[in-house]
Structure 1
Amino acid sequence: MTLANKTYRLLPEWHPQDGLQLTWPRPDGDWASLLSRIEATLERIVIATTRYQRVLISVFDETTQRRLAATFEAYGIPQQQLVLVIAPTDDTWARDHGPITVVDETQQPLMLDYTFTGWGGKYPADHDNRLTQWLANAGVWACPIASRSMVLEGGAIETDGEGTLLTTEACLLNPNRNPTLSRTDVEARLAADFGVDRILWLANGHLEGDDTDSHVDTLARFCNASTIAYVRCDDPTDPHYSALKAMEQELIAFRQRDGNPYHLIALPWPKACFDPEDGHRLPATYANFLIINHAVLVPTYGDPADIVALQALSVAFPEHTLIPIECVSVIRQHGSLHCLTMQLPNGTLAPALSQS
């Protein structure tokens, strides 16, 4: 992207980070019946992450702010590792309402604030759509932000940081996002904003219970510029089998810039998880891991496949500490670990912030 005579590129998740962004659940929101459980999961994410970097948490009110400050102090987390900011929000999915960061040739960051519509108008999203600007007004960011009218969620894209983007047709070409944009238009905007010149489109792959229209971060992820981890279903009786097998063939056919195939790491298929209230299938996936400084947080589901997933990802991240985070409650609201978070690359988070 060219802005003020500068050219920008999209950063990969493994780029060094200032911190991690979370949005705490509202007590009157979609998590009401699971509030204590999701808060426990988020606490585990905070405890794990603050060993390596700061955590920015948007909270709904002052009462929650004070409670969390006391809770994390009791856990022994240094105060400087947490930034608790009061802001109006709708839901918890920071991956999709958080800013997407690009850098110029001198590594100076710029945050792109895309339009968030609750995954194509499925859920209320007005507060979450304004959150990045709200945080800017609160002095949270150390770099400028630029607003974008295009509807785009962070979970819909993956990059190698070297000019290649991985995404899905089911999401980015869905008319519930940008109905006036053709595939060519979408590609042009992605190229302009992210400095990419190659887009790898997945035409296959989905998870039952996923209401993001097949975000790529539930299916296939860059681990480094030459490695992609992806979900594989080996059960021919499972309704996902055909689509994920077709996705696997697409990944096998993809080529790196030098013409070599990608190193592919198959992630296991956990046993089917169902909502205990109405019985619908939930989107349990090991592809929804999170890369932070020196560590990878991996969603687990109390399944024998958990250890297999951890072993597979240890091959992809030999220099990182792998930290399992139980996400059985998270998938009850149709996302998982990565969906709850947004990394904040170096130079994006203000160095000294009061709790405001």
Structure 2
Amino acid sequence: MTATMPPEWAPQDWLWIGFPHDAEEWPGYLERAQEQIAGFANAVAESGQAVRLLVRDAANEARAKALVSASVDLERREYGDVWLRDTGPLVRGDGVAVRPRFNGWGGKYLMEGDQAIGAQLAGDEGLALTEPDWILEGGAIDGDGTGLVATTEQCLLNPNRNPELTRADIEARLRDDLGFDRVLWLGEGLLNDHTDGHVDNLARFVAPSRLVIPRATGPDDPNVDIYADAMRRAESFGVEVVGIPSPGRITRGDFVEPASYVNFAITTHLVVVPTFGSVHDAEGVAAIAALFPDRATVGLPADAVLAGGGGFHCASQQMPVLARA
């Protein structure tokens, strides 16, 4: 049986984080996005966990150095997007790094370096590497450490990823390459999520067979039906579902943002929750804190990061301790 990925709450050696660098991706928001990612990196480093902040070039290294504490290590890398959850190595408990092919979220956003950064990070750490011949982003899956994984039909069954693969084929790939022997299929992801519905914005495991899903916080919540459908599917599957508040309707101009507290990052000593200036921020952070009594929880502004298409979980990838044993 293929070893599965340790759950995110397992001890971590360090956290890789991508530093925003492309003004075209964050028009009018780049400086604030950099500040918010730096705040994320600082919080994790100050909690006692190693952080490796990837920077694109000398200018961005200087910018990052001015924003982060000396506890954050800077690494110059040639990456495109900052979303290392999707492009970084998926490390199994046996120390094997898995890096399936990457096609820019269905061919929508292809940037130089994104198809190679995962293998480079794994290679630099001396990890055994396997590169399965199918498309998969790390944010499209979330495992509980027992072989159970959650995903969405909108993403993994999308014809812009693996049109030649059936649902059964994908389940077999998840089993053979990543050790997931049970798949919880949710339906649609959040409205306007350019990743085609990544599960890490919709539903996250916080313990074996215990899944967090947002609940709508008002009649104008843009994802009220999506949350309800996810809850029905998860409960029918037999997992314990914990509802937490959603941020509600978050807009940038006329655009409805795919804002979610579920895009939190779990680290060894700290859980970092994105906040958006919503009246529900404090309630959302408190609800997540209650799920992690063994570590601190903090809410940090992430509205500018979201303007580039993701959140703290999207921008990071952990290196589990078990993989180094």
Q: Please confirm whether the aligned pair reaches a TM-score higher than 0.5, indicating the same fold.
A: yes
Partner of 1:119: 105
Partner of 1:53: 49
Alignment of 1:323-342 (within 5 A): 323-342=298-317
Checking the alignment, whether the CA contact within 8 Å between 2:89 and 2:122 is kept in structure 1 is: no
Give the 3-state SS of the residue equivalent to 2:303 in structure 1: coil
1:155 to 139, 150, 160: 139
Give, in angstroms, the shift of residue 102 of structure 1.
0.5
TM-score, normalised relative to structure 2: 0.93
Give, in angstroms, the shift of residue 136 of structure 1.
4.6
After TM superposition, the structure 1 stretch with the greater mean CA deviation from structure 2, 327-336 or 178-187, is 327-336
Partner of 1:131: 117
Checking the alignment, whether the CA contact within 8 Å between 1:23 and 1:59 is kept in structure 2 is: yes
Checking the alignment, whether the CA contact within 8 Å between 2:190 and 2:197 is kept in structure 1 is: yes
Q: Output the amino acid matched with 1:249.
A: R
Alignment of 1:224-303 (within 5 A): 224-255=207-238, 261-262=239-240, 264-276=241-253, 279-303=254-278
Give the 3-state SS of the residue equivalent to 1:57 in structure 2: strand
Give the 3-state SS of the residue equivalent to 1:151 in structure 2: coil
Partner of 1:97: 87
| In structure 1, C-alpha distance between the alignment counterparts of 2:281 and 2:297, rounded to whole Å | 12
CA separation of 1:111 and 1:274: change in aligned 2, threshold 3 A:
same
CA separation of 1:305 and 1:238: change in aligned 2, threshold 3 A:
closer
1:39 to 29, 34, 38: 34
| In structure 2, C-alpha distance between the alignment counterparts of 1:134 and 1:299, rounded to whole Å | 28
| In structure 2, C-alpha distance between the alignment counterparts of 1:184 and 1:226, rounded to whole Å | 22
Partner of 2:193: 210
Instruction: Provide, for residues 235-275 of structure 1, a one-character-per-residue CA deviation record: whole Å limited to 9, x for no partner.
Output: 345442223212221122221xxxxx51x221112231112
**2:78 is the alignment partner of 1:85:** no
Partner of 1:354: none
Checking the alignment, whether the CA contact within 8 Å between 1:227 and 1:316 is kept in structure 2 is: no
| In structure 1, C-alpha distance between the alignment counterparts of 2:183 and 2:322, rounded to whole Å | 27
CA separation of 1:197 and 1:348: change in aligned 2, threshold 3 A:
closer
CA separation of 1:341 and 1:158: change in aligned 2, threshold 3 A:
same
| In structure 2, C-alpha distance between the alignment counterparts of 1:125 and 1:309, rounded to whole Å | 33
Give, in angstroms, the shift of residue 333 of structure 1.
2.1
| In structure 2, C-alpha distance between the alignment counterparts of 1:196 and 1:55, rounded to whole Å | 28
Give, in angstroms, the shift of residue 126 of structure 1.
4.0
Checking the alignment, whether the CA contact within 8 Å between 2:220 and 2:248 is kept in structure 1 is: no
After TM superposition, the structure 1 stretch with the greater mean CA deviation from structure 2, 216-225 or 121-130, is 121-130
- How many corresponding residue pairs? 324
Partner of 1:64: 60
Checking the alignment, whether the CA contact within 8 Å between 1:23 and 1:93 is kept in structure 2 is: yes
TM-score, normalised relative to structure 1: 0.85
Checking the alignment, whether the CA contact within 8 Å between 2:30 and 2:304 is kept in structure 1 is: no
| In structure 2, C-alpha distance between the alignment counterparts of 1:348 and 1:11, rounded to whole Å | 9
Checking the alignment, whether the CA contact within 8 Å between 1:291 and 1:297 is kept in structure 2 is: yes
| In structure 1, C-alpha distance between the alignment counterparts of 2:262 and 2:67, rounded to whole Å | 30
| In structure 2, C-alpha distance between the alignment counterparts of 1:348 and 1:195, rounded to whole Å | 14
Give the 3-state SS of the residue equivalent to 2:100 in structure 1: strand
Give, in angstroms, the shift of residue 298 of structure 1.
0.7
Give, in angstroms, the shift of residue 32 of structure 1.
4.6
Checking the alignment, whether the CA contact within 8 Å between 1:116 and 1:125 is kept in structure 2 is: no
1:309 to 250, 264, 284: 284
CA separation of 1:135 and 1:196: change in aligned 2, threshold 3 A:
closer
Give the 3-state SS of the residue equivalent to 1:19 in structure 2: strand
What is the RMSD computed on CA atoms of the aligned residues?
2.0
Give the 3-state SS of the residue equivalent to 1:38 in structure 2: helix
| In structure 2, C-alpha distance between the alignment counterparts of 1:310 and 1:67, rounded to whole Å | 29
Q: Output the amino acid matched with 1:123.
A: Y
- Any unmatched runs of 5+ in structure 1? 2-6, 256-260, 350-356
- Any unmatched runs of 5+ in structure 2? none
1:13 to 4, 8, 14: 8
After TM superposition, the structure 1 stretch with the greater mean CA deviation from structure 2, 338-347 or 12-21, is 338-347
CA separation of 1:38 and 1:187: change in aligned 2, threshold 3 A:
same
